[in-house]
Structures are given as structure tokens and as C-alpha cells.
Amino acid sequence: MSREPLTRPIITIVQHIAERQRAFPEAKGDLTWILSGITLATRIIESYVRRAGIAGVLGELGTENIQGEVVQKLDIVANETILRVLGYRDIVGIMVSEEDDEPTIVKSPGSGGKYIILFDPLDGSSNIDVNVTIGTIFSVLRCREDIDESEGTLPHILQRGSYQVAAGYVVYGSSTVLVYTTGQGVHLFTLDPSIGAFTLHTEHLQMPTSGKTYSVNEAYYDSFPDPVQKYLDWTKHNGYGQRYIGSLVADFHRTLLKGGVFLYPPTRKNPKGKLRLLYEANPLAFIAEQAGGAAWDFNERLLDKRADALHERTPLLIGSTEEVEKVMSFHDRGKS
């Protein structure tokens, strides 16, 4: 009896990264080791997300984080899970979390800590209790070798987004999908619950160069800068649709797959934007550019942006190149 041809090889994410690392003789499997830790942590988080109502992790913790935001129980569960899993990967030096005021120093750069993991453990917290898609976002930097121990850890952390060695996110939606890049394209994996492994779904994903969907919270229209208001007015007469889930990771994932543009402009409430540069905007900007898209802060290319503080916020404009250019054209008009 002839055997059915394999329709799709079963490739796990660890296998996928290991195969790519072979292309770099000097790589010693470090990224594989880190990303396998991230996949383990996100599988644990996913198990809580899927049982939130019965695992006692719904609702608020009754405290606020450094962002001044109400902390959800699942924020802490996700944060603790990542810290516990990655804290024991010996090449991890520093961990920076949206939920922690200060970095967690696992092993200082001077005593062997090689990588910095920056993460938003649970993105879209306001959607947890109403069963809407949420996610986890991560970014990986290498500790710098040109910094003296006496300068502390901040100069290692406040590197431009273009220095990231890996970035990705997990979106806990109708299925659980992990998207990552190490600078060799963008690859998608779907969690197969029957074997508990992320298996390869799409390699070298390309974002459509255009898409008539814009994603913004238009409730803040009145406080947006004038060029953004003019762009939003323009969309109303040019056949655009609007989608806004309120979880950055979900709005970005749709934009990555379908094309379009996501905007979180400066507002009166958040004059520097609401989203955090180091562990929300930078990782998604790395992925967007690796998939052929673009990411700006309405003024400069996001991956060139200097970070001056751990939890620094930034305006974010990210998506298909033609759509990002269209938004920026309203800014350039304002300058001429």
C-alpha cells in the first residue's frame, strides 16, 4: 500500500531555530536555548489563559504597576512564569518586564550574563475577563561588550531596536500562534495541543504591501495631532475599513497577515504615546520590517529610536509599507 505523502513536515520551533543557527558557526545554540525557554513559558501561560475562569486567575489583583495600570491576576501569573522559566537559563543575564519597576539581574554581564530578555508578559489585559484575544511579547538583546561593569546594567538594556537579536510574540486566540524572527525572516508556529508543541505553519511570511484596514482607537480622535486627524478623515472617503481589538498583539497579528496599518498616536492623556518602546513597539517593529513592513513613531524609524528609560512610552505607526507611507504623507504635508 503506497504511503500518503507527508502533506506538511512536523517541525517544532526548537528544531527550526537549531537548523537556522547552523548557518552561524559562531552561534552555540544560545538562541535555541532562550527561545525554547520562551516557548515553555508561553505554553504554561496558555494553559492558564484557556482555564482563566476556573483557574482563579480572572479579575484584578487590587494593585497598580509602575505604569499606573491596574494589575490583573493573569498579568502576574504570566510574569512569574516567564521569570521562573527563563531565570534558570544560564545565559540569561537580565530580564526586563512591563510588570516590574526594576530589571531582574540573573547574572550580571560581567559574570557571564550574555542576553537580556525584555517582555510584556500579558498584552491586552483589559480583554482578559471578556475572553478576547491577548498575548505575550518578547525581545532579546545581547549584553554589550564595550561597557564597563561600573556603568551598571542600564546601558546594556537601553539599546536601539535595531540591535535586537530576536523578537516575537504569542497570540492566545482561537488557536495559539507563536511568531518569531532572528533577523532571517518571520516564521509562524501553531501550538498543537495534542502534543503540546509549537509546530511550523508558515516560513518567511511577508506582510502585504498594502491593505485598506486601519486600526486605531478613534475615541481619542479629538486629542490626536492634526496630521493624524486629516489622515483619519481621508480614510472615510477612500474605502477603508476599521478594526480595533484593543490588544496590540492581536491588532498587529491581523495587520501582519492581512495588511493594513495600526496607529497609537500621541494623545493628551499619553503625549508620548501609550505603548512601551522596549518590549512592545521594538519587537513588533523588528518583525514588521523582517516581513517587509514598516514601523515609525510618526517621526523616525522606530528601530533607530534611542531609549532613555526602561518603561519609556512611544507613539506607534506600524504595518504595510504603502499604508505607513500614506499616514506619513499627511505629516510631510504639514511640514512643507
Q: State the nearest-atom distance from the C-beta of 57 to Mn ion, in Å.
A: 14
Taking CB under 6 A as the criterion, the residue among 124, 161, 259, 266 binding ligand AHG is: 124
Name the amino acid, one letter, at 300: E
d(CA 146, CA 47): 41
Q: Give the interface size with ligand AHG as a residue count (CB under 6 A).
A: 11
Stretch that binds Mn ion, among 23-31, 50-58, 116-124, 167-175 (CB under 5 A): 116-124
What dihedral do alpha carbons 105, 111, 115, 117 form, nearest 10°?
-10
Q: CB-hemisphere CA count at 13 Å for 236?
A: 6
Using CB distances below 5 to 8 A depending on partner kind, what does residue 60 bind out of ligand AHG, Mn ion, none?
none
| CB of 324 closer than 8 Å to CB of 293 | yes
Q: State the nearest-atom distance from the C-beta of 286 to Mn ion, in Å.
A: 16
The CA distances from residue 240 to 211, 214, 235, 258, in Å, are: 8, 7, 6, 13
Nearer to ligand AHG, 109 or 124 (CB): 124
Taking CB under 5 A as the criterion, the residue among 30, 46, 123, 323 binding Mn ion is: 123
d(CA 278, CA 284): 10
Interacting positions 52-111 with ligand AHG (CB under 6 A): 69, 98
Nearer to ligand AHG, 12 or 223 (CB): 223
**β-pair partners for 154:** none
Using CB distances below 5 to 8 A depending on partner kind, what does residue 331 bind out of ligand AHG, Mn ion, none?
none
The answer to the question of residue 251 lying near Mn ion (CB under 5 A) is no
Interacting positions 94-113 with Mn ion (CB under 5 A): 98
Taking CB under 6 A as the criterion, the residue among 29, 173, 225, 246 binding ligand AHG is: 246
| CB of 134 closer than 8 Å to CB of 173 | no
- DSSP for residue 255: H
